[in-house]
Amino acid sequence: MGWNMSAIVLKDLNISYGTTRVVHDVTLDVAEGESFALVGESGSGKSTILKAIAGLAPDWTGEITVLGQPRGHRVDRGFATTCQMVFQDPYGSLHPRRTVDAVLSEPLEVHGLGNRAARVVEMLAAVGLDQRFRFRFPHQLSGGQRQRVAIARALMLEPKVMLLDEPTSALDVSVQAEILNLLKKLRREQGLTYLMVTHNLPVVGFMCDRMALMNKGRVVEIAPATALHDGSFTDPYSRALYAASGGNPAREAQA
15-54 positions binding other proteins, by CB under 8 A: 41-42
Question: Closest distance between other proteins and the C-beta of residue 81, in Å?
Answer: 30
DSSP assignment of the chain: ----SEEEEEEEEEEEETTEEEEEEEEEEEETT-EEEEE--TTSSHHHHHHHHHTS---EEEEEEETTEEP-SS--HHHHTTEEEE-S-TTTSS-TTS-HHHHHHHHHHHTT---HHHHHHHHHHHTT--GGGTT--GGGS-HHHHHHHHHHHHHTT--SEEEEESTTTTS-HHHHHHHHHHHHHHHHHHT-EEEEEES-HHHHHHH-SEEEEEETTEEEEEEETTHHHHT---SHHHHHHHHHH---TTHHHH-
Sole binder of other proteins in the list 50, 184, 187, 213 (CB under 8 A): 184
Evaluate whether 130 touches 140 at the Cβ level (below 8 Å): no
Q: Applying CB under 8 A, which of residues 97, 118, 130, 255 lies at the interface with other proteins?
A: 255
Q: Count of residues binding other proteins (CB under 8 A)?
A: 35
Closest approach, Cβ 91 to other proteins, in A, equals: 11
Asked whether 164 and 86 are in contact (CB, 8 A), the reply is yes
Minimum Å gap between C-beta 249 and other proteins is: 6
Residues in 204-223 that interact with other proteins by CB under 8 A: 205-206
Please identify, using beta-carbon distances, which residue of 118 and 173 lies nearer to other proteins: 173
Provide, rounded to whole angstroms, the least separation between the CB of residue 54 and other proteins: 24
Lay out the site mask for other proteins across 83-112 (x = CB under 8 A, - = otherwise): ------------------------------
Q: Does 224 bind other proteins (CB under 8 A)?
A: no
Q: Which of 68, 72, 191, 202 binds other proteins (CB under 8 A)?
A: 202
Residue 46: CB minimum distance to other proteins, A: 12
Query: Is residue 126 within the footprint of other proteins (CB under 8 A)?
Result: no
Name the site residues for other proteins (rule: CB under 8 A). 41-42, 143, 172-178, 180-181, 184, 199-203, 205-206, 228-229, 240-241, 244-251, 253-255
